Structure 1
Amino acid sequence: MTMNDLSSLDQILAGGGATAKFEAPGDLYTGEIVDVAIRQVNDYDTGKPAFWDDGRPQEQIVVTIATSETTSPDDDGHRNVYIKGWGDQLKAFRQAAKQLGRNPRPGDQFTATYVGDGERKNPRFNPPKLFQYEVTAGTAGLSNLVEQAAAPAQPASTDSTPQSAAPSTDSTQQGPGPQEKAKQLIQLGLDDQTIATQLQMDADVIGILRQNLAA
């Protein structure tokens, strides 16, 4: 199996995802990145792969993110954000990567915001959409980690067979509270804003917890 095979397998397991639709300036999509891929653009008229005049393929970046938006029981919430590999969209994506300090990757938090329209150079097409991209460093599988941490404790077994267990002074078993979850994510290296967003907590509270852990 080649590296290309592995890459394709990762993309299949990540899920295809529906296209993120930006209909009006101000529309945005945000979520954890589950896949970043380079795909060739299809020609608008023929539907076949598009090429530049010098023979190079016209390429686009496809960022698949996990969102809370679902339209059917089979919708996993994954949305594909398509970024042209040239012009203003590529420039905006490069700027986001520069601010991050590296290329975006699965686990990072990604936000794409439709901020307006560019100059219409071809009367056959709509003006190109302009975007702002923001990327915050994260940990792959953060969504799953948070969901597992927030999952309620399993009910006690109804099996009548006696089970030996250590004595407990509390009659109820509870999962970790929000602050304990936050401490776990801090120790994983996530930044305050990412943790606050995932756990729906105030970022200032996360900062205080971080200071206490460092003390």
Structure 2
Amino acid sequence: MDANSFLMGGGGAPTAKFPTPGTTVGGRITESPKVEQQRDIQSGEAKFWSDGNPMMQMVVTVQTDERDPAIEDDDGRRRIFVKGQMKNAVADAVRQAGAKGLEVGGTLHVRYTHDGEPKQRGFSAPKQYAAKYVAAAVSELGADTPASAAAAPAPAPGGDPWGTSAAPAAPAAPAGVNSVTGEITGNEPPPF
């Protein structure tokens, strides 16, 4: 916890929820991602692996279009707790974007795609995720160029970069920007 969070109280933005397959949460990253030890939901105690090492997670705060009337003064920020299979999906998205990691100003979207196979009998099936990341420089370029905004398809409600299709599609990039590397290209449209 940083000094201002301590001073102002509260643990940060509400937690992003992924209740059903197809749920997508994402938006522009508003704070530097933090790595912290996972906690037990019931007891609040720190979690450890069987070998004694701490179970870690990354906390990423994004600005969403979501507003929950049950949350007082909801500004739409949500914390995504990146761990388990979601960590692999986010890491793959960062690599596909040609970035070295998540950064403030970049956009991250995470989608709960389906349930995997239970690893042990009697346990819930693990949630499987897909993610998309656009680096801050590319994200800013797309937001500040009216011509590219006009050429880009309208975003789906809730900022879902996959639209209404259940299958992930390539991330949108402004015309003249490679959607994978973020490099500015000639006048040709980006490959999709």
Which bracket does the TM-score occupy, shorter chain normalised? 0.5 to 0.7
Report 1 or 2 for greater relative contact order, CA contacts < 8 Å, sequence distance ≥ 6: 2
Contact preservation (8 Å) 1:196, 1:202? no
Q: Which residue of 2 aligns with 1:8?
A: 2
**Selected match of 1:112 from 99, 110, 134:** 110
Q: Which residue of 2 aligns with 1:65?
A: 62
Query: 1:22-59 CA deviation, whole Å, 9 max, x = no partner?
Result: 11111101210012111211135643100112221101
**Selected match of 1:201 from 125, 131, 150:** 150
1:202 Cα offset (Å): 2.4
1:9 Cα offset (Å): 4.1
Larger radius of gyration: 1
Q: Which residue of 2 aligns with 1:82?
A: 81
Cα separation, 2, equivalents of 1:38 and 1:11: 16
Q: Which residue of 2 aligns with 1:53?
A: 50
Report the identity percentage: 30
CA RMSD of aligned residues (A): 3.3
How many pairs does the alignment contain? Answer: 151
Letter paired with 2:22: G
Query: What are the within-5 Å matches in structure 2 for residues 118-157 of structure 1?
Result: 118-123=116-121, 125-138=123-136
Query: 1:146-180 CA deviation, whole Å, 9 max, x = no partner?
Result: xxxxxxxxxxxxxxxxxxxxxxxxxxxxxxxxxxx
Cα separation, 2, equivalents of 1:136 and 1:54: 36
Relative to total residues, which structure has the larger helix share, 1 or 2?
1
Q: Which residue of 2 aligns with 1:43?
A: 40
**Selected match of 1:190 from 134, 137, 140:** 140
Compared CA separation, residues 102 and 95, structure 1 to 2 (3 A): same
Cα separation, 2, equivalents of 1:74 and 1:120: 39
Please, which runs of 5 or more residues in structure 2 have no aligned partner?
154-173, 177-183, 188-192
* Residue 94 (structure 1) aligned with residue 88 (structure 2): no
Compared CA separation, residues 9 and 44, structure 1 to 2 (3 A): closer
Letter paired with 1:51: F
Cα separation, 1, equivalents of 2:104 and 2:91: 17
Letter paired with 2:14: A
TM (norm. structure 1) is 0.59
